[in-house]
Amino acid sequence: MALRHEPFNVRVFGLVARGVVDESSHIDLLVDDDLHKINLGFQAMLLMDLQDMLDYKIDIVTEQGLGHLIKDRVFAEAKYLVNFTLKEAV
């Protein structure tokens, strides 16, 4: 599904990446922000599709959108979505 919306280098971070998941959890996704490789509406479309499919709240942030205080931590814990499933976090 992610490929349909053309994001690339999609990574999960935050509580889910750390294995802390419960019914109130949300999923944090980090994506590259090269607008030459992704269309402008991809975040909204990907967000809606993922929330509908997974029944979790989804937050999407680009590398450029990360605050300088958390950037290093996010990069350190981020896991590529292709190699990561929610079952690994449970």
Q: How confident is the model at residue 37, as a pLDDT?
A: 59
Helix extents (H) in the chain? 2-5, 42-54, 71-77, 86-89
CB 55 within 8 A of CB 20: no
For the segment 45-73, the average pLDDT, to the nearest whole number, is 87
Task: Label residue 5 by pLDDT band (50, 70, 90).
Answer: very low
Neighbours of 54 (CB within 10 A): 11
Nearest-angstrom CA–CA distance, 61 and 70: 12
